[in-house]
A and B are shown apart, each in its own frame.
Chain A
Amino acid sequence: MANSKANLNTIRLKTPITRTDLEGIEVGTVVYLDGLIMTGREGVYQRILGDGMAPPDDLSRIANVNFHCSPAASVNDDGSFNVGAVTATASFRFAKWLPRWFEVSGCRVIIGKGGMSEAHYRDIFVPAGAVYLTTVGYGTGALLGRGIVEVEAAHWLDELGIAQAIWVLKVENFGPLLVESDLAGNSLFEQNNRAINAQIEKAYEGLKPPALSRYGETDDKTQELI
């Protein structure tokens, strides 16, 4: 980015991504991708892992980068595709599927929104040698859309619909993405949470307690909802 005053480390990675590619990459690094990536979310996980259906192709051959995304796309009358913008959907909902997904798919990179917990990184990502890249904003749909060179395939469009189908995308300079978890299982979000939590009570200073307490309420502002 021209004239950025943020001045973050920036790298480019080519798919398929190897473990060596990911070694030494720190959280907070800006990443741009080249190669093939695939979208896949609960519909795909349910069919392959939940219902035991055969994937439409050898998953490791499709792409080893799994994007938690539903594109703003449409199918033209001639069967071609029109993908305008792509952005991520919140990933923490899919954590339960990931241990087996990594096993079955050979995936090394999850791209999504919001990341997962450090416990998930430690227990699921680290053993699989995988990292999590978060989209930025989260609304950089046009920038990411511009990075899509072409749609290689769209699997299970009829069965899952546009939002949930497997979109195989050929990308170039696809980003910006931020390294949210590294191979050691550190989380950029949780590092920032810890820094913010240390001062959060200051914002509440001097406010009287609520008139009515509620079941299920937490007063611990260091908690998060995911």
Chain B
Amino acid sequence: MSVITIAALDEAAFQIMCKAGIEIPEDYRQGIEAMSGEETGPLSCFVLESMLDNWTVANNDRRPMCADTGVPRYYVKVGNEAGIEGGFIALEAALRGATARATQEVPLRPNRVHPLSRHDNNNNVGINAPEIEWSFEPDADWIDITTVHKGGLFGTDYRMLFPGDGVDGIKRFFLDTMVAFGKRGLACQPAIVGIGLGGSKDTTMVLGKQAACLRTVGDRNPDLEIAALELALTELGNSIGMGAMGFAGRSMVVDTHIEVGYTHTGGMPMSVHCFCLSSRRATARLFSDGGIAYRTDPQWFTPYMRRNSIGWPTAKQISTQSG
């Protein structure tokens, strides 16, 4: 079995750190372009036009699109048949190394500090930082590494709802979060809004963040009922009367993504996460033959990730069935 080398991982991790900080993903840019065409509030419209200018300058000058370069983190999807030189420990070390290198060379803002002493290693690396989340993919020998640099302070909230709250409760909490963090533009909207629904409290937060950061504008949940709710919430958010920076207008939500997890029978926990005007995400796929391919769609939520079954058929089982 051929293995994916640490040299390739070092290179890919560094490249996605640069791309995430500098290049706005095309799906998001197109979403904002469409919104700026429809926006009637002059101030909100000015903000959107300025952002479009800003992304062009960032790309041309190769400088970060926003100086708050967020808190870098990684999502790693490992093909079930993939081999890694040095194993998972070496992979984690490579990701930490790439974070420090990119912080110096892009440069990114060294945002990560100790929560009490406020000590800054000046490289975005520290205790439990950057976070590395893992998932797996059947019948694959590649590794996907995605980095996301999401801002950290505003636009996220959690609430324990109950089954009796229903869709109205979901809408109410969604609106509360948009209104609270939309004023003065603290959420840096228009944002991709990710919603976690169900699971345990921690799962809810994790799913909502992944929904905001790892799906592209225009992507719909394959469950038709959830997909309809995604569209309804986007429309609701854009009907508040508030636009970019909290100015009068309608540009609040570029798109809404909902991810669900089976939850306690008595509850319906929900989280809301706004991924800002600098939606920094970039992905690299490392193939077993040494190749690297870069993209902006993390393709994180595969059918396997959303499985509702006990097991998962192997490729061999599927081909036997269809044969």
Contacts and interface: CB of A to CB of B under 8 A. Distances in A.
B43 A178 contact: yes
Query: Which of B49, B168, B175, B183 has most chain A Cβ within 10 Å?
Result: B183
B63 interface: yes
Contacts of A4: 45-46, 49
B188 interface: yes
Contact of A140 (B51, B106, B108, B154): B51
A163 B109 contact: yes
Nearest to B123: A74
Interface stretch (B4-12, B159-167, B204-212, B301-309): B159-167
Interface of B: 21, 42-43, 45-47, 49-51, 53-55, 57-58, 61, 63-69, 103-111, 120, 122, 153-154, 160-162, 164-166, 168-169, 171-172, 175-176, 179-181, 183-186, 188, 236, 239-242, 244-248, 276-278
Contact of A87 (B67, B108, B176, B246): B67
A8 B42 contact: yes
Interface stretch (A16-24, A53-61, A122-130, A187-195): A187-195
A23 B97 CA distance: 52
Which 7 residue pairs are nearest across A and B when measured between Cβ atoms? A142-B58, A6-B46, A74-B107, A139-B66, A85-B64, A87-B67, A141-B66
B52 to A, nearest CB: 9
B169 A210 contact: yes
B79 to A, nearest CB: 34
A51 B227 CA distance: 55
Contacts of B53: 1, 140, 143
A50 interface: no
Contacts of B51: 136-137, 139-140
Interface of A: 1, 4-8, 28, 30, 69-74, 82, 84-87, 89-90, 114-115, 134, 136-146, 161-163, 176, 178, 188-189, 192-193, 195-196, 199-200, 202-204, 207-208, 210-212, 221, 224-226
A70 B47 contact: no
A83 to B, nearest CB: 8
B246 A72 contact: no
Contacts of B46: 1, 4, 6, 8, 30, 136, 176, 178
B65 A139 contact: yes
A203 B242 CA distance: 11
Contacts of A195: 241, 248
A140 B110 contact: no
Of A82, A192, A199, most buried by chain B (CB within 10 Å of CB) is A192
